[in-house]
């Protein structure tokens, strides 16, 4: 067992020029009591093979073997041509490090051949120790001058998710901003679990995808198991040894690729929980049950030269993964996916297949165990790996400098904005998290609309400016500025946010005298309170009666009618409020949406551009249609696609995510689901599909101001009886009868 966490020194640029970027591994000296020179050399060779530059040697004051093992480590490093540097642990010893003891160690080893240097100075770091911060004004002077990277005084060590939230780059961004270009040591860790009550440590963090995700944004042991390093389990009073027979070597296998890509930018529930918590109150975190945040899944990462599918046989079932959760730019790099374990136990097989040929075969005989040591769940993962028997070589098509962010996210109100802006290359780390990079996507046409954040909230400033200019302007960011002083009292001011475009609601009348234009402004933008305002034919639209005129535009008219083509400019936008462009179809495997036959996506941009000349016009997209729903949409048949997509929560989520990306790309205002027609067995799933869409849309943009939803229903009474009309109507803005 080698207990270390791979740690990046990210912005190590400028002076010196030689060490632009470096990668270190956090190595726990306290686990090496029985190490001899051969064991030290073995560990260093493993690290060098993984392209690690040095060990950050974690040393705690008062350990009886410090002097012996520090000497052994530096002797081995000099012989092996490897580097070490001190990471003084101020929290793990009998007491914090005394100032003069630190200076003595730096004097003794700082100029050693095995000590890592930066710009001619020994690199020194710490873990914890804010109470001894003033010591370093003296330590870092005279004959103990060093290049000092302090340890955390705020949680820079939190590399993973906090509770149910995905991990972010917010802490990294705050450090980089505060450092103003100085070097920053960014942490990367694949997993965190400890059950050592003797050290008051018994918690884990949600880590299933952490290793892949954290390397995408830019501890633990990733060396082989070693029975000589288990004494910590006795000192920590662990109820069982949760490391024995649970190797983590697999995490180390991909390190050369990850490290070189980072450095150079180019590269050819049945058991008790053991009172373990997910998060820890000791770090001022809200605690969860690990059962809530640690799903039973098998996680796979494959380093491939080109696309291949993964087949996993487990419990008598073969899972075929063609659509990986994450794929690399240009097909060269790390592919990542996971499958559920459910209640199945025993061995499993994994096969990577390319063009029908197995390139990697792997059997894990140890498999998934149903046993519980001492009746307690072991939250420590088994990490294994296999290699292809054939040597291959490939080069990533673009360096990191040539890539743009093409996918990302942000929490809370940043969610919709980051999803849009990150997909087009603008993904600031202080607000968003980029989850995938690749070839830059073609940006939508600029609208020329300036976006401003709500009430001067500068956190959203850059995102609003970028997104609104390309047609995506979430309304929750601010208020709309229309506040006539004789009818209203303005209670808050901020940068101007353009209101929603006007809709055609007919004549608007105020029923309480001169309202200085309030009813006219509000009703034409979707809010017409009754009895104060009346619109259209005299009915108050506060009762949710709105004049809507929907026109369907068959996209194939752009190219399939010869001389009788009908371009986007043919539509009389002065007499309609909404245009439904038909049709999008659904990929039966990935549930991505794509244009139907003879559908020119450029026409979509032409159609949405008409909104500039026609205030109040909304452009929606229709999904499905008669040909698609009845299997005549392709040679393979598409009749079952709607049913398969709506039939599971996972498939619905894939479809909705893909649909949202398409709608953002083409600045669409809503979607019409045209499933002709679902069977009785599909009724409940159809209602769930619309519910999930509404929840997703409302989470991105508040209900009533964001994307609209409609569905097409039959006029045939027998067919209509199969629909869960109450649930479906609650999720839709209106229903189209066909």
Where among 261, 280, 299 does a domain terminate?
280
Number of Cβ atoms within 10 Å of the Cβ of 70: 19
Distance CA 106, CA 86 (A): 8
Distance CA 259, CA 265 (A): 9
Residue 330 within a domain: no
pLDDT band at 629 (very low <50, low <70, confident <90, very high): confident
Per-residue model confidence (pLDDT) at position 75: 94
pLDDT, average across residues 538-543: 40
Residue 228 within a domain: yes
Per-residue model confidence (pLDDT) at position 492: 52
Pick the more confident residue, 633 or 597: 597
Structure tokens at 475: 């309304």
How high does pLDDT run on average in the chain? 72
CA dihedral 231, 234, 235, 240 (to 10 degrees): 110
Distance CA 106, CA 112 (A): 10
Q: Which secondary structure element, helix H or strand E, spans residue 66, and what is its range? A: helix 66-80
pLDDT band at 536 (very low <50, low <70, confident <90, very high): low
Q: Which secondary structure element, helix H or strand E, spans residue 198, and what is its range? A: none
Taking Cα atoms as reference points, which of 388, 444, 407, 428 lies closest to residue 608? Answer: 444
pLDDT band at 437 (very low <50, low <70, confident <90, very high): confident
Per-residue model confidence (pLDDT) at position 87: 92
Distance CA 146, CA 117 (A): 9
Taking Cα atoms as reference points, which of 175, 167, 226, 280 lies closest to residue 27? Answer: 226
Per-residue model confidence (pLDDT) at position 85: 94
Residue 138 within a domain: yes
pLDDT band at 349 (very low <50, low <70, confident <90, very high): confident
Per-residue model confidence (pLDDT) at position 50: 77
Are the beta carbons of 578 and 501 closer than 8 angstroms?
A: no
pLDDT tens per residue, range 641-664 = 888 899 988 889 889 888 988 888
Residue 569 within a domain: yes
The whole-model pTM stands at: 0.43
Residue 291 within a domain: no
pLDDT over 70 (residue 542): no
pLDDT, average across residues 48-55: 84
Q: Which domain holds residue 88?
A: 6-280
Distance CA 465, CA 531 (A): 38
Per-residue model confidence (pLDDT) at position 10: 30
Residues of 530-552 as b/e, b for ≥16 C-beta within 10 angstroms?
A: eeebbbbeeebbbeeebebeeeb
pLDDT tens per residue, range 321-331 = 888 887 887 88
Number of Cβ atoms within 10 Å of the Cβ of 227: 10
CATH code: domain of residue 692: 3.20.20.80
Q: Which secondary structure element, helix H or strand E, spans residue 182, and what is its range? A: none
Per-residue model confidence (pLDDT) at position 391: 75
Query: Residue written as tokens 């944004």?
Result: 217
SS3 490: coil
Q: Which secondary structure element, helix H or strand E, spans residue 235, and what is its range? A: helix 231-235
* Cα separation of the two ends of the chain: 67
Where among 222, 250, 280 does a domain terminate?
280
Helix axes 414-423, 649-665, angle to 10 degrees: 70
Per-residue model confidence (pLDDT) at position 112: 95
Per mean pLDDT, which of 150-164, 247-261, 713-727 is the most reliable? Answer: 713-727
Taking Cα atoms as reference points, which of 709, 723, 724, 703 lies closest to residue 668? Answer: 709
Return the beta strands (E) in 572-728 as ranges.
Answer: 578-586, 593-595, 618-624, 670-674, 708-713
Degrees to nearest 5, angle at CA 384 with 383 and 388: 145
pLDDT band at 295 (very low <50, low <70, confident <90, very high): low
Taking Cα atoms as reference points, which of 568, 566, 529, 522 lies closest to residue 545? Answer: 529
Degrees to nearest 5, angle at CA 217 with 293 and 153: 75
pLDDT tens per residue, range 99-122 = 999 999 999 999 999 999 988 999
pLDDT tens per residue, range 467-518 = 676 666 655 443 344 454 445 555 555 544 556 666 767 777 776 666 656 7
Lowest mean pLDDT: which of 263-267, 604-608, 628-632?
A: 263-267
Are the beta carbons of 623 and 652 closer than 8 angstroms?
A: no
Q: What percent of the chain has pLDDT over 70?
A: 58
The radius of gyration computed from the CA coordinates of the chain, to the nearest angstrom, equals: 30
Are the beta carbons of 43 and 77 closer than 8 angstroms?
A: no
Return the beta strands (E) in 444-523 as ranges.
Answer: 508-510
CATH code: domain of residue 270: 3.20.20
Q: What's the length of the chain?
A: 738
Taking Cα atoms as reference points, which of 664, 674, 652 lies closest to residue 706? Answer: 664
pLDDT over 50 (residue 169): yes
Per-residue model confidence (pLDDT) at position 245: 44
Lowest mean pLDDT: which of 180-184, 209-213, 486-490, 665-669?
A: 486-490
Per-residue model confidence (pLDDT) at position 533: 75
Pick the more confident residue, 207 or 305: 305
pLDDT tens per residue, range 6-28 = 333 232 322 333 345 778 888 88
pLDDT tens per residue, range 665-700 = 888 889 999 988 888 888 889 999 998 888 888 776
pLDDT, average across residues 264-276: 54
Residue 630 within a domain: yes
pLDDT band at 157 (very low <50, low <70, confident <90, very high): very low
pLDDT tens per residue, range 394-411 = 777 777 778 888 888 777
pLDDT over 70 (residue 559): no
CA atoms within a 13 Å half-sphere pointing along the CA-CB vector of 453: 12
- DSSP labels, 323-390: S-SB--GGG-EEEEEEEE-TT--EEEEEEEEETTEEEEEEEEEEEE----GGGB---PPP------SS
Per-residue model confidence (pLDDT) at position 9: 29
| 3-state DSSP of 83-108 | EEEEEEECCCCCCCCCHHHHHHHHHH
Contacts 24+ apart (CB under 8 A), 466-470: 466/421, 466/424, 466/426, 467/417, 467/420, 467/421, 468/498, 470/420, 470/424, 470/443, 470/444, 470/445, 470/446, 470/667
Contacts of 265 (CB under 8 A, 6+ apart): 399, 400, 401
Return the beta strands (E) in 128-192 as ranges.
Answer: 147-149, 185-187
Residue 112 within a domain: yes
Where among 280, 295, 319 does a domain terminate?
280
Contacts 24+ apart (CB under 8 A), 42-46: 43/2, 43/223, 44/76, 44/77, 44/80, 44/82, 45/80, 46/2, 46/223, 46/224, 46/252
Are the beta carbons of 541 and 535 closer than 8 angstroms?
A: yes
Pick the more confident residue, 709 or 389: 709
Residue 77 within a domain: yes
Per-residue model confidence (pLDDT) at position 478: 30
Counted domains in the chain: 2
pLDDT tens per residue, range 32-44 = 888 998 999 988 9
pLDDT tens per residue, range 368-395 = 766 666 666 666 666 677 778 777 777 7
Distance CA 49, CA 252 (A): 9
Taking Cα atoms as reference points, which of 475, 405, 412, 398 lies closest to residue 705? Answer: 475
Pick the more confident residue, 73 or 225: 73
């Amino acid at each position: 067992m080698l207990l270390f966490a791979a740690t990046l020194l990210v912005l190590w640029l400028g002076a010196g020029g030689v060490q632009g970027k470096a990668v270190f591994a956090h190595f726990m000296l306290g686990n090496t009591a029985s190490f001899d020179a051969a064991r030290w050399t073995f560990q260093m060779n493993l690290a060098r093979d993984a392209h690690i530059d040095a060990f950050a040697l974690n040393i705690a004051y008062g350990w009886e073997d410090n002097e012996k093992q520090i000497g052994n480590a530096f002797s081995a490093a000099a012989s092996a041509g490897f580097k070490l540097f001190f990471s003084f642990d101020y929290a793990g010893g009998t007491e914090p490090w005394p100032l003069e003891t630190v200076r003595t160690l730096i004097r003794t080893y700082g100029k050693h051949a095995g000590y890592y240097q930066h710009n001619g100075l020994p690199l020194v770091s710490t873990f914890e120790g804010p109470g001894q911060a003033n010591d370093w004004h003296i330590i870092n002077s005279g004959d103990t001058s060093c290049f000092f990277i302090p340890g955390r005084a705020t949680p820079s060590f939190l590399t993973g998710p906090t509770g149910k939230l995905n991990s972010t780059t917010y802490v990294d961004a705050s450090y980089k901003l505060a450092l103003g270009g100085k070097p920053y040591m960014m942490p990367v860790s694949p997993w965190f679990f400890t059950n050592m009550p003797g050290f008051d440590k018994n918690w884990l963090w949600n880590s299933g995808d952490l290793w892949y995700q954290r390397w995408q944004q830019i501890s633990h042991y990733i060396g082989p198991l070693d029975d000589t390093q288990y004494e910590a389990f006795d000192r920590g009073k662990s109820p069982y040894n949760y490391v024995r027979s649970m190797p983590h070597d697999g995490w180390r296998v991909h390190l050369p690729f990850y490290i070189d890509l980072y450095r150079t930018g180019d590269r050819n529930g049945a058991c008790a929980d053991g009172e373990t918590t997910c998060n820890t109150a000791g770090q001022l975190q809200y605690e969860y049950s690990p059962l809530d945040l640690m799903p039973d899944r098998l996680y796979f990462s494959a380093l491939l030269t080109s696309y291949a599918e993964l087949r996993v046989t487990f419990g008598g079932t073969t899972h075929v993964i063609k659509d990986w959760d994450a794929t690399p730019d240009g097909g060269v790099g790390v592919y990542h996916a996971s499958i559920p374990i459910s209640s199945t136990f025993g061995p499993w097989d994994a096969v990577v297949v390319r063009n029908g040929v197995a390139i990697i075969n792997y059997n894990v005989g140890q498999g998934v165990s149903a046993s519980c040591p001492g009746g307690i769940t072991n939250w420590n993962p088994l990490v294994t790996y296999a290699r292809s028997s054939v040597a291959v070589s490939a080069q990533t098509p673009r360096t990191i400098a040539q890539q743009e962010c093409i996918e990302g996210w942000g929490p809370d109100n940043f969610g919709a904005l980051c999803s849009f802006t990150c997909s087009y290359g603008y993904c600031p780390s202080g607000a968003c998290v980029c989850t995938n990079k690749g070839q830059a996507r073609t940006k939508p046409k600029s609208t020329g609309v300036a976006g401003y954040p709500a009430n001067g909230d500068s956190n959203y400033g850059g995102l609003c400016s970028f997104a609104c200019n390309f047609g995506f302007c979430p309304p929750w960011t601010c208020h709309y500025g229309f506040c006539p002083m004789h009818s209203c009292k303005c209670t808050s001011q901020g940068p101007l946010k353009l209101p929603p475009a006007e809709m055609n609601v007919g004549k608007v009348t105020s029923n309480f005298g001169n309202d200085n234009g309030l009813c006219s402004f509000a009703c034409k933008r979707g809010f017409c309170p009754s009895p104060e305002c009346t619109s259209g034919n005299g009915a108050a639209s506060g009762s949710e009666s709105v004049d809507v005129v929907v026109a369907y535009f068959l996209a194939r008219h752009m190219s399939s009618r010869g001389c009788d083509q009908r371009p986007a400019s043919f539509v009389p936008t002065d007499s309609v409020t909404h245009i439904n462009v038909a049709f999008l179809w659904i990929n039966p495997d990935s549930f991505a949406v794509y244009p139907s036959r003879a559908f020119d996506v450029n026409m979509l941009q032409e159609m949405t551009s008409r909104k500039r000349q026609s205030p109040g016009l909304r452009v929606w997209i229709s999904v499905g249609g008669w040909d698609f729903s009845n299997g005549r949409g392709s040679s393979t048949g598409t009749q079952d696609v709607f049913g398969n997509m709506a039939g599971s929560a996972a498939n619905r989520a894939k479809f909705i995510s893909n649909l949202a990306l398409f709608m953002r790309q083409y600045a669409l205002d809503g979607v019409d689901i045209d499933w002709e027609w679902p069977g009785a067995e599909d009724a409940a799933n159809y209602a769930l599909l619309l519910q999930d869409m509404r929840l997703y849309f409302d989470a991105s943009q508040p209900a009533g101001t964001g994307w609209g939803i409609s569905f097409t229903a039959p006029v045939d009474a027998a067919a209509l009886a199969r629909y869960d009309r109450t649930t479906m109507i609650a999720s839709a803005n209106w229903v189209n009868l066909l």
